[in-house]
A and B are shown apart, each in its own frame.
Chain A
């Protein structure tokens, strides 16, 4: 009996020992704890940490990344039984979901797999003035929470395809992007990836040109882009405050003596739904250029549905090439304070309640030559006010412009007074037009001598805009230009 009991004991011990030996020789495979879902901004990197236990001893980690790229930034030492695997995830430019799948292998070649999910956001809310050099990155949407100023000495670089959305509101609720005197904007979009300024109500996402939800007539939902410089202006003082910005913000001052001032580059930029009302007669233009110098490059601009003017020049010497203003709710192109630059190749489509051109002269004693509008096409539309609103002291030379789409009582104002004005060098040349049968060119182009006007069949003009430069625009891609024969 004793012997029997001894046998049992021995067997038991043996069995136990064997069992133990069996555990020691084949330990459990790795276990992984993935982190909670993380947020990452498109184009940004973030470290994702997985906690791992590797009873068999750590050997290696492999990763599979969706929606971006990843590298293993740190891992446990070889043979370690626990530690962290840190993966640096770099988001691609597309907002949406992303994931990192890691597979951990132990020294016994046992493996385990776990997935961490990420959400790639593309929206950045900008609440404060830009006081250090800053880059706004492709793929992102920047929301302007208030009037954001790029202050003097600072450059804001905006990469192609960036969308900037202003929060809604009028009066002191208005939002805008203001480039102060001495500040710079480097906004170089491309025809394929223009930079778009719009409202937060716009559901447009990077990569789109057309708004998925807003009509191209919706206006006044945010402010606009205001660029100010140090070039000379003709006003009541050498420097004054730009309209739409209360004087308590001195970043709104413009004007100076540097005609060649450089406020940066603005190319392939579409500005939409802006023009917040500040007070009556006091709103923000789509693109406001106050005292901007000739060192600044502005090309390929589209302004859509702005409650105030499309582009307004307040003095300065900057020139603009390839500009399209569609559905402005005040004047399409507006000049003041003896601006001295050129707009070459432009299209104006259907201004509402405002004029095609609102052309003013000096407001102070400074007169610095004439500004020039050449190679343009103007589709007047049904709601235009004056076709061209000259002032007696306007300093402007206009040539090679085609006018059509005239249906209401719009006309040219004060041409004769301007020509008769003392020492005026203003002029018009090579205007072409198509008028309905019931309209008289002498009434519509009141005062402009007949030898400067040529009637042509609809869209058979030989002067006017080069429409091929505008294929990138919302106006073109929405078909709005085609419907008016462009």
Chain B
């Protein structure tokens, strides 16, 4: 099966390569087309933010001109020169764009032209073309008119801030934080309440333990914009609460584009460091996948398993099986290299005589980053059972160094075809990510701690994770003649595949006399293989109709979508065993798998921890069918309302079993064969009101019902042991004395109130408050009956609520002094108070360990909810000089990350003060070259999580020091 999948992947990769090649070659002639120059642009209504159709665009001093199409776009061909372009429309103020330079065989873009409705003034307004080219204000425009609460960041902003991947970039958005550089939290709500979509359709996550996709795999090079939607409307899926992050990949460009970019990053702590750990990898590691070096020997999944105790297996067969395992168990040191990125993107559009146009884009990016934490720390602490003993007791600490080499290859190819009334898009994207990790830890286990045997140990951990996502989007948009009617349909399959081959943990135990493998202490060497395959298929159609209702413009929307998902997940693990006394390894993991030591020549053999059928494997499917209807009412000029209703029929099925069943006890064991674990029909009402206080001030009020559903793994009888963290996950279906095994989805009511003021040049000020109630949210609950192991189970806990306030601003410093007019102070601040009712079990667990002077409340904050998120920045923007830059600061308040109880203290993340500096300078007369310079984590802060307990000094849960890093980039545009 594994082999087949690898083949499939190879074939797929090959097909993709061919597809890209054909697309590229086929469209090359377009690049060369045209003798004259071209002016292209888009015209919007300043008032509604919508594209204007039929606007007349005239190149002054020529007879050339054009009329905008249904997308508000125009295209004019003229002989090279410098022109003034006049944009006029009945009952709108005429706009003249001055100094528009047109070059031979080149496209001059004047996007984002906004016309103001004005019947009083007949004078035309003159602006320069440069001033228009700030897409950030286009985002503001969308934001201002969007019926739902929305924030975003555009490609232009990525360039300005110099962020190389989406996780860096999305942090700039109000109320957004990124955990571990990978997972987006909106308004501080955890991963469970955030959804990530790609081109408005669901994509599978790449981590079986997460609900949302890790966002750092999207290079900004492939992204047109990222929008964060914080309130729901009927056309959006209902399974989010904090927000939806939608990543829109690049469409076809207005202009001929050919960019190459390169950058290097240097971190003095991490790079050119001789102590960097590595291990023997494959020849294709640099491409983000394993070449078979880490493959699982075929016999490992066959019956009988080749071990000395299996009947019908000869010692020679066992020996030849053992020899097939990679012998490398130890981390080796080598000098680390610095980070580097390479990017290329090309695109163009061709306009045909009949007014149709064809565009293409191709973009590829390669990113190599090297991370080295030479002072990493992981701790496990316990609370004393005695009420007068406040200080926490260490149970196990791990001190060491972690090395990571991360490779990301991203490719995107898109074709778009536009006719007078239709637009078709086909986009194919493949992301391939490989992460190789090697770490060494010194382990100190405290025998005085509860459930601990007490030992010193040293471990070598070797890991590899390869993740591939292939997404295809086929999209059509069709408009009625007067643009009052439109249909948008999308079909989008995504295949995602993760393999974590041969994760090796080899830990020696130091006894008072020797260094050995001790199963009762640091454990025997173990190696595991993890596989995840997921296929998503989304098909949706959205219909929009503008009409007049009681004399006011009204918009009717309705549509349907169908989402199908299927995931296969499997973990195979193998433990080293000794048939007799261990040889002397001299504490070197590289000495372990010597031929002389392998059975029957020596005692070493591997034992399978995988029953057949495997309890650490499951298959889950989801079918979600949705219908919605919404209408936008304009009650009078100043009040708009969008009222909608969405219906979702959600069915989740699961195939899996627990260990008891897997071992043959079909009576007491649990087994599901494609059984429904969730079957719900829900109605999700939403209402959004926008009241225009003035022309540039809105007051918004919204209500929506949303849902958070348990994941595939949570609705299962899975029992998954992670040998690295030694944590055991128990599926939510298991019954306990204090848990009925009936894990349910959480329904959330969301209320939002926002006041916003839009000012000149993209300045804005907004204040929002929000309130959400959670009906029995799901949290990972630590099982307090387990003292030796760390066991968790997802359970519905008590009802919760969060209340928050958000402030966003962007202001030019021209009010201080005119010379400072190009300086902007911007920021967003979110403050949240969350509360959750403890379950009886949690309350009792806390109460039993109550300290003298401590009062255990019945409520606590919600896990994963940050109490505040602050993003502020001081930026300089001067497009005439081609110079911009800024200083940006981001911090999250201390967040409850692991919920404790009785013996186990709570864990809080410590605020990480991230201060980054960036400048960006375009040089040359033609402004074809851009240099960027970036310094991140200027304050040299350390990422820390702490155990906390009443009246006790806090203790480390984890500590990683990312250090300060500098990067320099160069981009050349043809």
Q: Which residues of A contact B (CB under 8 A)?
A: 127-129, 145-149, 167-173, 175, 199-201, 215, 217-221, 235-237, 239-241, 243, 246-250, 253, 275, 277-283, 307-309, 329-331, 336, 352-354, 358, 360, 363-365, 383-386, 389, 391-393, 408-411, 413
Residue-wise, chain B 654-667 has the 8 Å CB interface mask toward A (1 for contact) of 00001110111111
B579 A391 Cβ-Cβ under 8 A: no
B170 close to A (CB within 8 Å): no
A389 B723 Cβ-Cβ under 8 A: no
Q: How far is the CA of A200 from the CA of B663 in the complex (A)?
A: 14
Once A147-B660, A147-B663, A391-B448 are accepted as A-B contacts, the answer to whether A279 and B523 lie under 8 Å apart by CB is yes
| Shortest Cβ distance from residue B834 to the other chain A in the assembled complex, whole angstroms | 27
The 30 sampled A-B contact pairs (Cβ below 8 Å) are A129-B667, A148-B665, A168-B307, A172-B610, A172-B615, A172-B616, A215-B579, A219-B578, A220-B524, A237-B902, A240-B785, A246-B659, A246-B791, A247-B730, A250-B736, A277-B607, A280-B526, A280-B723, A281-B788, A283-B520, A329-B518, A329-B519, A358-B453, A363-B787, A365-B385, A385-B514, A386-B511, A393-B448, A408-B513, A409-B512
B926 close to A (CB within 8 Å): no
From A172, A217, A363, A392, B659 is in contact (CB under 8 Å) with A172
Residues of B contacting A248 in the complex (Cβ-Cβ under 8 angstroms): 658, 717, 719, 730, 734, 736, 793
> 7 closest Cβ contacts across the A-B interface?
A280-B523, A171-B609, A146-B663, A330-B520, A201-B309, A385-B511, A172-B659
A237 B848 Cβ-Cβ under 8 A: yes
From A172, A217, A241, A358, B786 is in contact (CB under 8 Å) with A241
Residues of B contacting A278 in the complex (Cβ-Cβ under 8 angstroms): 721, 789
From B511, B577, B736, A353 is in contact (CB under 8 Å) with B511
B737 close to A (CB within 8 Å): yes
Residues of B contacting A360 in the complex (Cβ-Cβ under 8 angstroms): 447-448
| Shortest Cβ distance from residue B746 to the other chain A in the assembled complex, whole angstroms | 22
Residues of B contacting A175 in the complex (Cβ-Cβ under 8 angstroms): 663
A246 B507 Cβ-Cβ under 8 A: no
| Shortest Cβ distance from residue A483 to the other chain B in the assembled complex, whole angstroms | 16
Once A146-B663, A235-B450, A281-B452 are accepted as A-B contacts, the answer to whether A172 and B611 lie under 8 Å apart by CB is yes
17 more CB-based (< 8 A) A-B contacts, given A172-B611, A248-B734, A358-B447:
A171-B573, A172-B609, A217-B581, A218-B580, A220-B524, A236-B784, A236-B848, A237-B785, A247-B786, A279-B723, A280-B726, A336-B451, A353-B516, A353-B519, A386-B512, A391-B447, A409-B512
Q: How far is the CA of A32 from the CA of B52 in the complex (A)?
A: 103
Residues of A contacting B307 in the complex (Cβ-Cβ under 8 angstroms): 168
Once A127-B664, A215-B579, A281-B453 are accepted as A-B contacts, the answer to whether A236 and B512 lie under 8 Å apart by CB is no
B728 close to A (CB within 8 Å): yes
Q: Who on chain A is nearest to B459 by CB?
A: A280
Residues of A contacting B730 in the complex (Cβ-Cβ under 8 angstroms): 246-248
Residues of B contacting A169 in the complex (Cβ-Cβ under 8 angstroms): 607-609, 611, 663
| Shortest Cβ distance from residue A444 to the other chain B in the assembled complex, whole angstroms | 11
Residues of A contacting B787 in the complex (Cβ-Cβ under 8 angstroms): 235-236, 240-241, 243, 363
| Shortest Cβ distance from residue B279 to the other chain A in the assembled complex, whole angstroms | 20
Q: How far is the CA of A471 from the CA of B577 in the complex (A)?
A: 31
Q: How far is the CA of A222 from the CA of B730 in the complex (A)?
A: 23
Residues of A contacting B519 in the complex (Cβ-Cβ under 8 angstroms): 220, 275, 277, 280, 283, 307-308, 329-330, 353
Residues of B contacting A221 in the complex (Cβ-Cβ under 8 angstroms): 309
Q: How many A-B residue pairs have CB under 8 A?
A: 245
Residues of B contacting A241 in the complex (Cβ-Cβ under 8 angstroms): 783, 785-787
| Shortest Cβ distance from residue B216 to the other chain A in the assembled complex, whole angstroms | 30
Interface of A is mostly: loop
A365 B607 Cβ-Cβ under 8 A: no
Q: How far is the CA of A257 from the CA of B848 in the complex (A)?
A: 17
Q: How far is the CA of A277 from the CA of B507 in the complex (A)?
A: 14
From B582, B665, B848, B849, A145 is in contact (CB under 8 Å) with B665
From A129, A172, A201, A235, B665 is in contact (CB under 8 Å) with A129
Q: How far is the CA of A386 from the CA of B723 in the complex (A)?
A: 27
A353 B520 Cβ-Cβ under 8 A: yes
B518 A330 Cβ-Cβ under 8 A: yes
Query: Which of the listed residues B517, B611, B666 has the most CB atoms from chain A within 10 Å of its own CB?
Result: B611
B310 close to A (CB within 8 Å): yes
Query: Which of the listed residues A172, A278, A329, A408 has the most CB atoms from chain B within 10 Å of its own CB?
Result: A172
B520 A329 Cβ-Cβ under 8 A: yes
B812 close to A (CB within 8 Å): no
| Shortest Cβ distance from residue B574 to the other chain A in the assembled complex, whole angstroms | 8
B903 A170 Cβ-Cβ under 8 A: no
A170 B607 Cβ-Cβ under 8 A: yes
Residues of A contacting B667 in the complex (Cβ-Cβ under 8 angstroms): 127-129
From B514, B575, B737, A250 is in contact (CB under 8 Å) with B737
Q: Who on chain A is nearest to B448 by CB?
A: A391
Query: Could you tell me which residues of chain B, from 710 to 763, have a CB within 8 Å of some CB in chain A?
Result: 717, 719, 721, 723, 726, 728, 730, 734-737
B4 close to A (CB within 8 Å): no
Residues of A contacting B524 in the complex (Cβ-Cβ under 8 angstroms): 220, 277, 280
Q: Who on chain A is nearest to B446 by CB?
A: A391
A280 B788 Cβ-Cβ under 8 A: no
B668 close to A (CB within 8 Å): yes
Residues of A contacting B516 in the complex (Cβ-Cβ under 8 angstroms): 352-353, 383
Q: How far is the CA of A246 from the CA of B524 in the complex (A)?
A: 19
From B386, B451, B719, B723, A365 is in contact (CB under 8 Å) with B386
A243 B580 Cβ-Cβ under 8 A: no
Residue-wise, chain B 495-527 has the 8 Å CB interface mask toward A (1 for contact) of 000000000010101011110111111111010
Q: How far is the CA of A282 from the CA of B790 in the complex (A)?
A: 11
From B308, B452, B664, B728, A246 is in contact (CB under 8 Å) with B728
B454 close to A (CB within 8 Å): yes
| Shortest Cβ distance from residue B450 to the other chain A in the assembled complex, whole angstroms | 4
| Shortest Cβ distance from residue B627 to the other chain A in the assembled complex, whole angstroms | 39
Q: How far is the CA of A128 from the CA of B665 in the complex (A)?
A: 5
A128 B666 Cβ-Cβ under 8 A: yes
A243 B610 Cβ-Cβ under 8 A: no
Residues of A contacting B788 in the complex (Cβ-Cβ under 8 angstroms): 243, 281-282
Residues of A contacting B523 in the complex (Cβ-Cβ under 8 angstroms): 277, 279-281
Q: Who on chain B is nearest to A358 by CB?
A: B453
Q: Who on chain A is nearest to B785 by CB?
A: A241
Q: Who on chain B is nearest to A331 by CB?
A: B520
Q: How far is the CA of A292 from the CA of B550 in the complex (A)?
A: 81
Q: How far is the CA of A236 from the CA of B454 in the complex (A)?
A: 18
Residues of B contacting A392 in the complex (Cβ-Cβ under 8 angstroms): 448
Q: How far is the CA of A386 from the CA of B621 in the complex (A)?
A: 53
Q: Who on chain A is nearest to B522 by CB?
A: A280
Query: Which of the listed residues B511, B580, B723 has the most CB atoms from chain A within 10 Å of its own CB?
Result: B511
| Shortest Cβ distance from residue B557 to the other chain A in the assembled complex, whole angstroms | 46
Residue-wise, chain B 450-469 has the 8 Å CB interface mask toward A (1 for contact) of 11111000000000000000
Query: Could you tell me which residues of chain B, from 107 to 142, have a CB within 8 Å of some CB in chain A?
Result: none
A146 B580 Cβ-Cβ under 8 A: no
From A170, A218, A363, B575 is in contact (CB under 8 Å) with A170
Residues of A contacting B609 in the complex (Cβ-Cβ under 8 angstroms): 169-173, 277
| Shortest Cβ distance from residue B571 to the other chain A in the assembled complex, whole angstroms | 10
B445 close to A (CB within 8 Å): yes
Q: Who on chain B is nearest to A350 by CB?
A: B581
A173 B668 Cβ-Cβ under 8 A: no
Once A169-B608, A220-B577 are accepted as A-B contacts, the answer to whether A200 and B309 lie under 8 Å apart by CB is yes
Query: Could you tell me which residues of chain B, from 757 to 786, have a CB within 8 Å of some CB in chain A?
Result: 783-786
B728 A364 Cβ-Cβ under 8 A: no
Query: Which of the listed residues B308, B664, B666, B849 has the most CB atoms from chain A within 10 Å of its own CB?
Result: B664
Q: Who on chain B is nearest to A242 by CB?
A: B788
A247 B511 Cβ-Cβ under 8 A: no
A385 B785 Cβ-Cβ under 8 A: no
A218 B579 Cβ-Cβ under 8 A: yes
Query: Could you tell me which residues of chain B, from 635 to 670, have a CB within 8 Å of some CB in chain A?
Result: 658-660, 662-669
Q: How far is the CA of A247 from the CA of B607 in the complex (A)?
A: 24
Once A246-B719, A246-B791 are accepted as A-B contacts, the answer to whether A236 and B736 lie under 8 Å apart by CB is no
Q: How far is the CA of A128 from the CA of B661 in the complex (A)?
A: 9
Residues of B contacting A145 in the complex (Cβ-Cβ under 8 angstroms): 663-665
